[in-house]
Structures are given as C-alpha cells and as structure tokens.
Structure 1
C-alpha cells in the first residue's frame, strides 16, 4: 500500500487498513511492559506522595523526586480483574481478563509506549536508563554524559547542561499491533500524546519546567537508547529542568548545518541489550515500518517552525453564545488521576450547567507548553481546536457548536439533537451516546501538517491531539463527569456536520463527556 493511501485510510477509511479476516491471537499477546534482563538496577522509592497540588518552583531534585514523577506519569497504579461476556448466540459465556492499569488512558489498555530517561542527578550514575514500570525501578543502559550528542540530535535548540533529566517517549509497535493491526499506528501517536500531556501536568505540579521536542535525528537517538527502529522508535523528547529558560530562541544559538544522524551514530558504540516481550510469533508490519522510516529526520536541516495561523475561521453570521466568566479551577491532580476512568456504558443521562461547560472549555485550553514547533510558549490552539454536539445543556439550544477560545464563546453550526446521527457513526458502538450530553471532537488540519513536516506531521498531530485530550479528561473528572476517548467512529459524517471538510479540517478524536454511574468492579490500587 502506498504511504499516501495508507495515511488516508488510517483516518477516513479505517476498515481498509486491516485484513478482513484479521484474528487476534490472545494467547500470544505481548507483555504490557518491556522487560530487560541482566542490567544494573536502581530501585525507586515507593514512598510516593498522595497529593500533587501545584507548589513552588524547584531548585534541586533527587532520585526520590524523579521516581515520584515517573510513577505518576507512567507507573502501574492499579490491578483490575474484569469480567468479559462473550455472546455466542446460544449462551452467554463469561471470561475474565487481568489488566495492569496506569493513570493515563490507552487504546485497549495496551500501553504501547515506553519511557527512557537520561539522568544527571547527584544520587545516581549519569547515563541512559529504561523506566521499568513493572518493578518501579531504573535499569542502566549506557553510562556517561551525552549532553553534546543529544543537543546536536535536537538541532542544538536546548541547553541540556541545565537539564537534570531528559525523558524519551517511545512506541513499541508490536504492543498494540497484535490486536489492532495497522490501525495501531493512529493509536500509537494518540497514546504518546496522552502520555506527554500527563508528563506536562505532573512536571508543572512538581515545579519543574518541561520542554517538548518532536523534531530530532531519529536514528541517532534510537542508537543512543539501543533501540531497533524496526521494533521501537522515539516519538518525543522532553528535557526537564528547574530552570525555565533552557530553550534557546533563534537568536541565542548557532544552528548546526549538515549534522546527520549517521555521523552522530559513529560517536557511540552499538548497544544491544536483551529484552523479552513474551510473544513467540511476531507478525510483520511493513506499512508501519515504511511510514515510520519515511517520518524520520536524517539531518538537522529538516527541523522547522510552524507558521502561526488562525486555526478556525468562523462565519461572521453564526449565532454566538458567550460563556460565563469562570474563576481559575483548582484541584488536586493526584486525586483526579486516581478517580479518572473511561465510563463506556456507564454514562447516565443528566444535564450540564452552563458554568460547568464554561469551566470545562476554558480550563482545557488554559495551559500552554513549549515545543520545538513554535518560537515561544503556547501554540497548540493554533493547530487543534474543539467542536461539540450538545444536548440538555442549560442555556444552550441543542445543536453542533465550535468553541471560540479567543472570545470564550460557542459559535452555532447547526441546531438539533444529533445523538442518533453520532451513534450511527460509531464503528464500535461501546458507548450509548443517547445518554451523553456532551460529545466533543478535537479538530485539526486535514492534511496532517504534511506540507511543513512530511509524514512526520501525521504522528505529531496525533500527539498534540492526545495532549489536549488528556487535559480535557482531567478537567472533566474534576468537574464530576467522565470522558471516554473514541477512535471507533466515522470521521466523514462528523466533518460534514460541522462543515469543516470544505475548510480542510477534520475530526481527530471523539470524546463523549457527561455524568456516569459508579461501576461495580473488583480492583486493587497499588498505592494507599
């Protein structure tokens, strides 16, 4: 399949990306976490604080605080024993699944990402580590100072001498390909974005300054981590610092001309640590490997800035509903992490007040983050936005709306109750949208930033959608509601409903939000 066709089908014709006779081999499923063998280990403290209210800016952190950060970002937080009912037409058989949950949502709870860290702390050897979530520990892959190597791999945009830790978010392709086949590529970018969003939330709460880098020399960084990019590849690099000014503006550094990944790889020896994923038979995924290869940067000359443009041009004659002013909404992050889950069939019909909607939309966009896509802090709202279909919202006629962040207002697109329309568009009807008052859609560029970033733009767009999604889910939970991310929907009727198909925009993900009933389940938290 040609890459252009593959990317188009991933978004607009999802039924065409997997074989019609695809069968999941559950017995040969991979582990939900990566396990290395025979590496030096550093246990991390299990004495994790149970509150995460935003505090003062940090002046110095140690291994203990890094352990807290990693656990809240991607540690295993819950063991769930779930009953599955299989309807074979004659009888309804019951089976059970045991799942290791984390604080972030993931498609099918498969968690295809892994975390690696470049640590520079007084109480640990300087070097590259894998975060072993299964045992809450660090495993040393490569010892030594790699500031210069990494800075050049990132286009010399960051002063890594000021960073106490650099986080690498990778995607391990097989971890969810075994279930979703080629559709897993879309899930992988979104899952990585949700994980980045969680890292931003935790870092800000701990008084640490994070910077997100999407553009780098892939092969040199994969080489440093000992990864085969046929199996696993870095999607984002996040330097952490107690100094909020480690990012260098264009006039503060000299761009490196012609630095290539191939040249950098020669500077450090090959690393081939042994790891096990449990699967005995790994099926090839040539389309994903080809797309991942086409997305890689070989030289720093490929690194660009995205020109700032208005993300959505609103019709001047559309009806406007100005949302009420809402004071800053504060909550304890750790408590929300523990409470948040995806309600699926547990939504119950209920009303949403105008103030609740106002807080939800305002707080979802109230954060800013620094990435290498922009010249300064912020910018995500220039590339992704929110539309929604609302039912039974106080003071808002039933209908489809676009959220105008600059005016903190809703702009009406169409009047009516669109619950049946959206329900019919679900390809996996695991949510009853008749029970949901808010169905939100993250909107992005239809060409997936391809003009500026090539095929790399697709996964970057998915990651930015994931960042916004995670923020929306946390705020929804803090307001006493649940949010359920859905990719099992047909984007074409949604784009037609909002009238964005003609504006070169598209719906990236669907998120039902509303009240829900507590589920009866047996679960064990891995904290007190």
Structure 2
C-alpha cells in the first residue's frame, strides 16, 4: 500500500488523534495572497460575456432537455466561464456566525464572492491557459488573474504540443487547454498537513462549476486527471513540491481544430516568470510533501476502462424501510445567476421553516449527478462508475420523519437507516461554532470507499476521491442557491462517529464532508456595498 492509505486513515481519525504538527498556529499577518503574483507581465483584458437565460441549472444537470455538449468555446465564452467560477463577482459583508466577521469591513481583509466554493475561502487553484495557433491570441501560456479578470502572458510561443504529449493522447484534437494547478502554501499556511485533503476538494469544486456552466450551454468540459505531471510542472516553471498540477481540460475551440500535433515537444521549454510570494516565511509539511510525491509518482499511468469497478459505491439496502420522495423541484434559473447568489449560511439556519420534500429531492439528485466528473476519471455518466453514495440526516423536512437515511439515486428515494432526531448527534460531533446543525433542515453526507479506490488505481486515486467530493459540494451549493435555500459545507467533524452512526464499517465507506441545507432566518443583516 502507498502513503495515500496512511494519509486517508489519519484524516478519518483526526477528530480523535490530531495530525501533526499539533501545535501549529497560522501567522495571519504573514499569510500568502489569494492568487499568484507575476510582476511585469503583459495582461490581456477578457471580454464581457452574456449568459443565455434558458441555460438553466436543470439543463446543466441533465434534468431538462439539453444540448449534447457539441458546442465550441471562443474567447467570450471562456471569459464568462472563468469569471463565473473563480473571478471576483461581489463582496461579502453580511452579518453571520463565522470567525472572520470582524475582519470583513476592512478592505485588505475583504472576502470576495465567487461562483466556486473553496475550503476556508482560500482559492488555491491556479488556472493556466495554454493556447496554440488556432486560438484568438498569440500562442503561449497565460495565467488567469482572478482579481483583474485578465490573462497574464507568461510565455510566448506555441507549446500546445507539450500539453498534448503530456496527456498521452487523451482529449479532443485541439490546441487549447486549461491547466489547473494547486499552490499548496496558499492553503497550507492555515491547514498545514490537512491541506492536501482540502485543496483536492477545491479542484473538484472548480471543475464542477465549469461543467455546470458549460453543460447548460451545450459546451463540454471533460477533465483529464492522469498525465505526465512533471512535464507540465516544468512547462509552467513551478516547483514540483510547491505546486501540483491536478487536471487538464482540453477545449473544443470555435476557430478550428489542430489537424496534427503542433508546437515544441522537446520538453525543454519552460515559463521563466516566477510567482512572487508575499509571506516572509514559508513552511513545508511532511504529510503534504509525501502526498504530492505519492500522487504524482505514476501520474501518467491512466487506469484502464472499468478499473474503478471494484471501488463502486455499495448499493442501497433493500431491506431498510422505504421513504418515498416526490419529484424534485425544478431549478429553471440560469447557471450564472445561481452561481452569483451562492454563499455559505454560517449560522443563519432557521428550523421554524422546514425544507420541503421537493427541495430535498432536488438537492439529492443534484449531488448524485454532480459526482460524475467525466473525462478520463472513469466516473462519467453511462458506463462510468459511481463512486459517491449519499446519506441524509433529516431534522426538519416536510413529510419525512427525523432520522438518518441513505439515498437511492436510481429510484430517487430514501431508505431509513436509523430513526430519531439526529440534532444532538450532529452538533456533538461538529468541532466549530459557526453552525447550529440542529437548525438545518437536513445534513447530507457523501461517502466514498477511499481505500478501495486507492487499491484499484493507486495513490493518485486520492485526488479523484476528493475531487468527486468537491464536485458534490459545489453541486449542492448551486442547487440550494437555485432553490432559495441556505447551504453550508464543513470538514470539521468526527468522521469515525459518522461511520459508527451509519454502520459503514462493513462497506469501507468514508464520510468525507457534511453539507447542511435549510431555510435561513428572514431579513438577515447585510451591507449593500454596491450602492454605498
């Protein structure tokens, strides 16, 4: 077994056995920027992009008639997708129960809203655009600057062949690629050894945002997670221990297709510009270094089709009492609007207004659909393997008795695992003070058989496990926005207690996240910065 097995076990136990370094305290005044900084580079402003009103969330999830994903990207659609996912679209100043409330009014500490969710609001995903001669700009490598909504040119010249070779033949015949890196210090300055667990979920949330945004418009985002990572790190000019390359998305481009491999394929070309770190002191963490090494060691060995079959989510238990669900409530709002409304509830839940069964059904269906990442992950719809299974702790849902349920995604119904009000259990096993879980209408819990995935595809499978969970979280957040529900996602809970409560020992399922949904208190305090 590789190191990822040990790390996964430590994550499950961290509520009872703290992960080293146990005495680590973040130095907030010396923290990193929430983006990379390349001084002196040229910037390309990205164009404004409209979004069709009929590009609904139902279409994004395939719940309504949708285009088959045969559309083509252009610069305008790329601009819109980046802005609505990782770009800054507003400022968060609402009064809530999170620990950062007192800092929000100060501009240097401002919390900006984005379409994608991110653990701790740290946004460590770096987005690079590698553009070949069929694109709309001079070929080269660009970095997407989230704060400016611009492309910053890091290298001039066609290096799309480098990416194509690194992918080993995967993907569309194109010369336009989005490459997603993770700058670890941007997250580990706060979460230390736990960082790898968090950032790999951030990757899934970002990719799923793109898949929803594009899918509703008939565009396709099919990520590759197996490729020659070291080759792409060299191309981007990043240190392999400081920044991992987690995914590549080939883009079908409107200006034409590359008829044959183009650009240098020697492996000798590299970005020379370097990110300038804000922190005076940067720490490394042994577990983080080991996970980067373990998950990148055989990065180019793409698993064979069906390799994940032994790690599939277990079927529902037909012997458990049935709890039927009504048809899911429609989500006709366009994806851009619901992404820009997305936020974390942070203590705003109000149990006096129960969640409807139709709303719960929609959230569960969105979660299940969103867990299918597509691309080369082996988890796409159709012949792909479903890795994630969903459980629901029901507190206040119309027509459902309180209790713990498992979700059947094929029949779209629930099975009762344990009757009784779960509020006391939920709150007792939550470590933070920013949510009252009993006030949530329901708490959804995705599980994956992590050890089985690692056995099936190796240590790199850990990235896939957590990307799947991140995609589920983003799907729930976005669905709640469309359903006018509050939502919160958290990692600070006792995983072992959930295994015991749900009886997951026999199946090897690991509960990796808790997702709270519910109505919020009416008329919460906020500040209208845009009219100030």
Say whether the fold is shared (TM-score over 0.5). yes
Match of 1:336 in 2: 338
Where structure 1 has 5 or more consecutive residues not aligned to the other structure, the ranges are 247-263
Which of residues 346, 354, 357 is equivalent to 1:354? 357
266-275 or 438-447, which moves further after superposition?
266-275
Deviation at 1:114?
Answer: 1.1
Cα gap change, 1:176/1:83 in structure 2, threshold over 3 Å: closer, same or farther? farther
Cα gap change, 1:449/1:209 in structure 2, threshold over 3 Å: closer, same or farther? same
3-state SS of 1:241 partner: coil
Q: Deviations over 1:76-97 (max 9, x none)?
A: 112335789999xxxx999954
Q: Is the 8 A contact 2:72 2:252 kept in 1?
A: no
Q: Deviations over 1:433-489 (max 9, x none)?
A: 121120100111141611122221112100011111111111112111111011000
Match of 1:79 in 2: 91
For normalisation by structure 1, the TM-score amounts to 0.87
Q: Which has the higher strand share?
A: 1
Q: Is the 8 A contact 1:208 1:240 kept in 2?
A: no
Deviation at 1:317?
Answer: 1.6
17-26 or 501-510, which moves further after superposition?
17-26
Q: Deviations over 1:290-338 (max 9, x none)?
A: 2101111457445443333551233232111222234753221121112
Q: Is the 8 A contact 2:341 2:481 kept in 1?
A: yes
Match of 2:287 in 1: 287
3-state SS of 1:76 partner: coil
Distance 1:503 1:516 in 2: 35
Q: Which structure 2 residues correspond to residues 405-424 of structure 1 after superposition, within 5 A?
A: 405-424=409-428
Deviation at 1:119?
Answer: 2.4
Q: Is the 8 A contact 1:384 1:444 kept in 2?
A: yes
Match of 2:486 in 1: 482
Cα gap change, 1:23/1:153 in structure 2, threshold over 3 Å: closer, same or farther? same
Match of 1:100 in 2: 112
3-state SS of 2:169 partner: coil
Q: Is the 8 A contact 1:216 1:303 kept in 2?
A: no
Cα gap change, 1:282/1:82 in structure 2, threshold over 3 Å: closer, same or farther? farther
Q: Deviations over 1:357-412 (max 9, x none)?
A: 22222233346552212286456761012101102322222111000011111011
1:39 and 2:50 matched? no
Q: Which structure 2 residues correspond to residues 143-182 of structure 1 after superposition, within 5 A?
A: 143-161=156-174, 165-182=176-193
Q: Deviations over 1:485-524 (max 9, x none)?
A: 1100001111111111221111110001100125323364
140-149 or 329-338, which moves further after superposition?
140-149
Distance 2:439 2:113 in 1: 26
Match of 1:519 in 2: 524
1:116 and 2:128 matched? yes
Q: Which structure 2 residues correspond to residues 288-327 of structure 1 after superposition, within 5 A?
A: 288-298=288-298, 300-301=300-301, 303-305=303-305, 306-308=307-309, 310-326=312-328
Cα gap change, 1:392/1:159 in structure 2, threshold over 3 Å: closer, same or farther? closer
Q: Which structure 2 residues correspond to residues 381-460 of structure 1 after superposition, within 5 A?
A: 382-447=386-451, 449-460=453-464
Match of 1:254 in 2: none
Cα gap change, 1:100/1:329 in structure 2, threshold over 3 Å: closer, same or farther? closer
Q: Which structure 2 residues correspond to residues 179-258 of structure 1 after superposition, within 5 A?
A: 179-241=190-252
Cα gap change, 1:28/1:385 in structure 2, threshold over 3 Å: closer, same or farther? same
For normalisation by structure 2, the TM-score amounts to 0.86
Aligned residues: 501
Q: Deviations over 1:2-28 (max 9, x none)?
A: 764333212322552242322211110
Give the superposed CA RMSD.
3.0
Match of 1:132 in 2: 145
Where structure 2 has 5 or more consecutive residues not aligned to the other structure, the ranges are 56-65, 258-263
Q: Deviations over 1:94-132 (max 9, x none)?
A: 995422332222122111111111224543112221101
Q: Is the 8 A contact 1:63 1:124 kept in 2?
A: no
Distance 1:194 1:186 in 2: 13
151-160 or 321-330, which moves further after superposition?
321-330
Structure of greater relative contact order (alpha carbons < 8 Å, 6+ residues apart): 2
3-state SS of 2:22 partner: coil
Match of 2:61 in 1: none
Q: Deviations over 1:266-289 (max 9, x none)?
A: 533243312223111111223211
48-57 or 491-500, which moves further after superposition?
48-57
Distance 1:375 1:5 in 2: 24
Deviation at 1:415?
Answer: 0.5
Cα gap change, 1:525/1:116 in structure 2, threshold over 3 Å: closer, same or farther? farther
Distance 2:147 2:489 in 1: 25
Distance 1:329 1:107 in 2: 26
